[in-house]
Structure 1
Amino acid sequence: MPDPLTSKTALAGRIAQSRVVFGAHETNLCDGRALSRRHVDYYGRRARGGCGIVVTEPASVCADDWPYERAPLASECETGWRDIVAACRPHGTLVLAGLSHRGLQGSSAYSQSVLWGPSPVADVVTRELPAEMGAAEIDAVIAGFAAGAASAAAAGVDGVELDAGPTALLRQFLSGLTNTRADGYGLDRSRLLREVIAAVRAEIGADRILSLRLSCDELAPWAGITPESAAETARELAGGLDLLVVVRGGPMSAGAYRPDAHTSPMFNVKLCRGIRDAVAGAVPIVLQGSVIDADDARDALDEAVADLVEMTRAQIADPDLVASVRDGRAPRPCVLCNQACLVRDPRNPIVTCIGHPTQGDGNHHPVRPNEGSLRPVVDVAAVRGAPREALVVGGGPAGLEAARILAAGGARVTLAERGERLGGTLAGAAVGAGRERLSALPVWLEAQCRRLGVRVETGREVTAVEVEGALAAGTAVVLATGGVAAPTLPPGRSGVTVLTAAAVLAGRPVPAGPVVVDDRVGGPIAVGVAEWLAAAGGEVTLVTADPVAGSLLGRTGDLADANARLARAGVARRLLTRVTGIVTGGVGVEHVHTGERATVPAAVLVDCSHRLPETSFAGVSREAVRVGDCVAPRTVLEAVREGREAARRLLRRDLP
């Protein structure tokens, strides 16, 4: 029986090689406001991996809609769309050009012009008040969508996707939260969307796909789009569409669209099923919403929840997801951390994945290990200077990735880990609600290493003498020994027990009594520790010098939700406060601005400060390559990336 996930499907007379969609998302890969060569390689790589439909990064249809610095502009995208089609079509992948306008949820920082919206309703995030669109502005938006569609058709795309999702102007017109107009566009809130659909269809014709990304639940039932109202809209529009992507979210629920692992995967199944029932087969439906597991996606297709599945983050994590499923291999897991694939960030990061770090360039390297085969892609014996033997010291993410790449490149690899389990601090941090999924990455890496014949030795302490001897014998050595806990505050006469976050997460018993969690980093660890201890019944106070707990969680979309969880769990938060030491009766703290001092009653202090590099091989020859936390403790992204690049450099060594 054919696998519904990997089987071909027809849309508007065009055939996609699978039912898996790589959905529209921000990448920060643009050159100016034009799609770049990196976009071409990025989408082409997913096409090569078996993706059925690629939807390109949504391009603004009006020049004054400039929602983020590297946002594409449709009038500058024709060449990029043409090149993306050329990269994807040989693999049987259909390409849809994403078209959008962000309206009042855009940004005036780059356009230096007023934001436009259906009504003068300020965005809840930026608090900026838009100007109400008049007839001229509405006509300009309709014309912009039409012109963008015409340009995309001229580029040879298979169709376009219109954005009426959580941040889109077209959704803003549909919603009572943002559309309070008294004219025809307010009394009939779907009017603009209908007019845009008609204008776009006139440009692309009947033989190209017209897809709509539609927010079907704003999670604000007092005035917003509800599943019931969305069902009516979907029925009304279905006859003019070839594809309907069901999503959720709006201005009051921005984090609901692409949440992290605190929200269970497949969260839109009920919503999608309801919309599919409402349209009664009039248009194929796409399920979106943390669809990351192939079995879950297949079940959704088998159970007629949807006709296709959008697996965007899963394919950022593994571009070969569909090919892996076809071949019976386990794809690289998506852990739903949002740490590297969510790029709406003042730093303008390039889209990537902690488990599959790339530079957004399709992963082009002179030596590219074929992860789907045990057969080396490099004849190591024929490559002058490439390692026949390799020793990797340390079994965390950096060491596992280095060992995997070296073995896939043909080297005989030994991986030595002093502890009894692999995975390093990542495995230890995978504790508590919303964090268990993190363990999937080291588990997958270990399985790949063993599949590729890596000799794994746990409980083995490698000495500096052994490393020097291996180097002298021509063995390539990668040191991935990780980090160590920073010196903690010494216990005072009050008898407060001081523990590191790693010790707590590893299961070390926590003495009874109040706990102070000292968060000097602002990341997920302290928040996770506080949540975990509170769930076990502890009395927990989180101390941070930041104005909000878990300040860095803003990058992953979890900041507001994390603080809500802490409040529900009863975790007290002392903000703008630092720990000064252990004093009689507990932990001394000081307000960072006023200098006011106080004592927080505590029996335990959990130190969540930065770790330091492990230095046992500090005197070893520089021929040994150091990667990951033993260079500087950072995130999993840097560890995996450095392990991968170090292995590739060794495999390329002395290549002509």
Structure 2
Amino acid sequence: MPTLTEPVVLAGAAAPSRVLFGPHVTNLARGRALADRSVAYYAERAAGGTGVLVTEIASVIADDWPYERAPLASECGPGWAAIADACRPYGTVVLGGLGHAGLQGSSAYSQRVLWAPSPVADVVTREQPAAMEQTQIDAVIAAFGAAAAAAVDAGLGGVELNAGADSLLRQFLSGLTNQRSDAYGTDRSRFLRDVIASVRAAVGPDRVLALRLSCDEDAPWAGLTPADAAQVVDAVAGHVDLLTVVRAGHYSSARYRPTARTAPGFNRDLCAAMRTAAAGRVPVVLQGSVVVPHAAQDALDDGVADLVEMTRAQIAEPRLVTLVRGGAAALVRPCVLCNQACQVRDVRNPAVSCVAEPRAGHETTESDPVGLDPVGLDAVARDVLVVGGGPAGLEAARVLALRGHRVRLAERSDRLGGLLRTAATGPGRERLGLLADWLAAECRRLGVRIELGTELTADEVAATEHVVLATGSRSRTPDRAAAWRTAMPSTPAMPSTVLAAEGAAVAADLAAGPWAGPAVDPGPRVIDVVEALAELPAGPVVVDDPIGGPVAVGLAERLADAGRDVHVVTPDPVLGARTPELAEVNFRLEALGVRRELRTRIVGVTPGAAVLEHVWTGDRRTVACAAVVDCGHRLPDETFAQVRAERAGDCVAPRTALEAILEGRRAALRFDHTPAPPVAMHVRRLRARKRAT
């Protein structure tokens, strides 16, 4: 059986490994053209050893403008050429992603009607498309050919056609969206076959023509099923050079790239079935949350696939293939499958990035601690104290040690990882612990002196010359609980328990809170909700979620799954507004009977109840509860507020692991006074690193 790092030949081109970096929205385009940030982003993954790289899907026709920075093939020529040049030294086979979003697009940017096989509105936008007539069909078929010709003229090794979760090509294949009575309806694969023929004529036999095909829409009443897809594969296998098997469609787009709640490698059986249908006529790629090298190798060993797509894994760890090839797979930075920063189709238009590797997508502005010269411009190794062993402190210590500094890390608790460890519990969140494990292991490997259970004084820290403070945050729950109690002055006591979502780290602080006076029951108890939910008092639970993030919905789901009566209070019009799997979260909570108190906030807590207020009308009502779980913002730890030092993470402002790791790295690099490299310098350094290895 082939190994993951072995070359593979596609249409005469030898890819250096059997790992594919697939197409995804990056928001790195300038207007609708791939430019400098895209070049640096892709070059980093090519330098890391990926065998086949597919650029962000470019619309083949101007009317298709699915999101603001969506590339347009007719404007991508210079960008494709620059990407090809930057990736050429590594032997990577670079393919231009081509597609058309059809009814899953948007008219917000083009101000043109959407085209689709039939007038079926999108389930997300509810926008009504127009059914394509033969003129439009012919135009799109020709546009695919023209876009493919432009890609190979720019120096790419070929193209990949998108017939995946959000594509016009899939919409023609599916009975959910193709209700035509003409030849393109009676033979639903005809449109795809005509596009493939157009593209093959444009690129010729010596360039790669790849196909990304949804082989199960998870809608068996009318959508594509594996049996349907097997027939499509049989029809096109001899006409394409690479086939990537994916899942999802009109009603199930979240299943294309789900969070960690879905087991990694979820498409194995589907991919194996399509490989059987292909009968050796085309190499087949496994896609579907494959983020661990040994899992990818298992797929090759078991005959599931010929190549493996590891897109999110390589966003988190660009060096993945090189590390595996060098026998250092243990050093691969883990992907936690959270979709927090790498799934960027939202109203903020963020650039693609990664919680574990926040430099991803920012290669032209963020310094690379691996690629720069050791210790920086002045070549002075310093003794640096890092206070705090959460993600910010661990990353700061790791990068400082990597740069040659002598590092001491003091953590006041008996474990490393901070709130990252606390958050790593419950369905789909366990993988966060892998990131904490990796950061801690890297610090130990690099010689960081780690001191657990070490409480430093302000004088000790102030007496140290070089310091990074990453002391994290403290609970705001005492303040909120006191406010809720005083808002109900006629109530002599507050027997309802007020809990901090991250409880354990702040239990001592909360136990002495100002509201801990006489009470009907033993008084407000604060426990670690994540680790000791069994200690909650019996009765209903109210989860207060002023943030709209994943913590509250995760806790609510866990409590409801354990049989608790749960209300979730949010000021937003939808629950979990900032979660990466909005629809599926609400579906699961609805099924569990969780009551959603939308556009609502808590204004008081009385014996056995929480007082809720509608944020628009001001109407108030009470909800019976034995406990209120506070999932609100925390406050910066101010233990060393008077100490002059570099600061990083939650002690600056409590946010997420992404900001903590990013700021920990920046704080470490400031000890070298190293400027951020422009893209040209970045590419030169990648090439120098390649020559050195």
Contact 1:585 / 1:599 at 8 angstroms: preserved in 2?
no
SS of structure 1 residue aligned to 2:109: helix
Aligned to 1:501: 501
Between 1:499-508 and 1:645-654, the stretch displaced more is 645-654
Q: Is contact 2:116-2:131 (8 Å) kept?
A: yes
Q: Which amino acid aligns with 1:611?
A: R
Of 520, 533, 542, which residue of structure 1 is paired with 2:568? 542
**CA 1:338–1:379 in structure 2 vs 1: closer, same or farther (change >3 Å)?**
closer
**Alpha-carbon distance in structure 1 between the residues aligned to 2:306 and 2:107:** 38
The counterpart of 1:614, out of the listed 637, 660, 676, is 637
Q: For residue 111 of structure 1, give the secondary structure of its aligned residue in structure 2.
A: coil
Cα distance change on mapping 1:654 and 1:535 into 2, 3 Å: closer
- Residue of structure 1 in register with 2:48 after alignment: 49
Cα distance in structure 1, aligned partners of 2:673 and 2:310 = 33
1:641 corresponds in structure 2 to 662
Which residue matches 2:296? 297
Tell me, what secondary structure is at the counterpart of 2:421?
A: helix
Distance in 1, Cα, partners of 2:100 & 2:494: 60
Runs of 5+ unmatched residues, structure 1: 371-375
Query: Could you say what secondary structure the match of 2:222 adopts?
Result: coil
Q: CA deviation at 1:596?
A: 2.2
CA RMSD of aligned residues (A): 1.7
User: How far apart are 1:325 and its partner, in Å?
Assistant: 1.2
Q: Do structure 1's residue 416 and structure 2's residue 410 form an aligned pair?
A: yes
**For 2:651 and 2:203, how far apart are their aligned partners in 1?**
55
* Alignment correspondent of 2:335: 334
In the alignment, residue 142 of structure 2 is paired with which amino acid? A
Q: Cα gap change, 1:538/1:323 in structure 2, threshold over 3 Å: closer, same or farther?
A: same
Given that 1:21 and 1:54 are in contact with CA atoms closer than 8 Å, whether structure 2 keeps it comes out as yes
* Stretch of structure 1 that moved more, 82-91 or 302-311: 82-91
Aligned length: 639
Contact 1:56 1:96 in 2 (8 A): yes
Residue 589 of structure 1 is matched in structure 2 by 612
State the Cα deviation string for residues 569-610 of structure 1 (Å, max 9, x = none).
232222222111111331111122232222111111111110
Match of 2:212 in 1: 213
Show CA shifts across 1:346-383 (max 9, x none): 1110001011012624367666336xxxxx94157xx5
C-alpha distance in 1 between matches for 2:590 and 2:651: 36
2:538 pairs with 1:512: yes
State whether structure 2 residue 673 is matched by structure 1 residue 652: yes
The corresponding residue for 1:64 is 63
Which residue of the other structure, out of 538, 544, 548, is the alignment partner of 1:522? 548
Once residues 558 and 360 of structure 2 are traced to their aligned partners in structure 1, the CA distance between those partners, rounded to angstroms, is 35
Query: Is the CA contact (8 Å cut-off) linking 2:378 and 2:672 kept in structure 1?
Result: no
Alignment partners' CA distance in 2, 1:408 and 1:243: 40
1:151 aligns with 2:176: no
Aligned ranges for residues 25-40 of structure 1 at < 5 Å?
A: 25-40=24-39
More deviation, 26-35/540-549: 540-549
Per the normalisation by structure 2, the TM-score is 0.90
Query: 1:646 deviation in Å?
Result: 1.3
- Find the counterpart in structure 2 of residue 488 from structure 1: 480
The percent of aligned pairs where both chains have the same amino acid is 59
The answer to whether the 8 Å contact 1:387/1:651 transfers is no
Q: Secondary structure at the match of 2:481?
A: coil
Mean Cα displacement is larger for which, 229-238 or 576-585? Answer: 576-585
Letter in structure 2 aligned against 1:570: G
* 1:98-134: CA deviation from partner (whole Å, max 9, x where unpaired): 1011111111010011111111111111111111111
Residue matched to 1:373: none
Structure 2: state its 5+ residue gaps.
Answer: 486-490, 504-528, 677-693
Q: Which amino acid aligns with 1:95?
A: V
Q: 1:625 maps to what in 2?
A: 646
Residue in structure 2 matching 1:378, options 369, 374, 390: 374
1: CA distance, partners of 2:223 / 2:50: 34
Instruction: Please state whether the residue corresponding to 1:541 is helix, strand or coil.
Output: strand
1:327-406 mapped onto 2 (5 Å cutoff): 327-329=326-328, 330=330, 331-358=332-359, 360-362=361-363, 368-369=369-370, 377-379=373-375, 383-384=377-378, 386-406=380-400
SS in 2 for 1:436: coil
Q: Quick one: which amino acid aligns to residue 520 of structure 1?
A: P
Which amino acid letter does the alignment assign opposite residue 542 of structure 2?
V
Distance 1:446 1:3, change over 3 A: farther
Secondary structure of 2:621 counterpart:
strand
Deviation at 1:238, TM superposition (A): 0.5
Contact 2:648 2:660 in 1 (8 A): yes
Could you tell me how far apart the structure 2 residues matched to 1:248 and 1:101 are? 18
| Aligned counterparts of 2:341 and 2:499: Cα–Cα separation in 1 | 29
Superposed, which structure 2 residues align to 1:6-17 within 5 Å? 6-17=5-16
- Counterpart contact for 1:44–1:362, Cα < 8 Å: no
Q: Is the contact made by 1:17 and 1:52 (CA closer than 8 Å) also made in structure 2?
A: yes
Matched, 1:434 2:428: yes
**What residue number does 1:573 align with?**
596
Rounded Cα–Cα distance in structure 2 between residues aligned with 1:50 and 1:526: 39
Q: 3-state DSSP class of the match of 1:323?
A: helix
**One-letter code of the match for 2:657?**
V
Find the counterpart in structure 1 of residue 510 from structure 2: none
Shift of 1:94: 0.5
For 1:182 and 1:384, the matched residues in 2 are separated by 73
| SS of aligned partner of 2:463 | helix
Give the deviation of 1:316 after TM superposition: 0.3
The letter of the residue matching 1:638 is: E
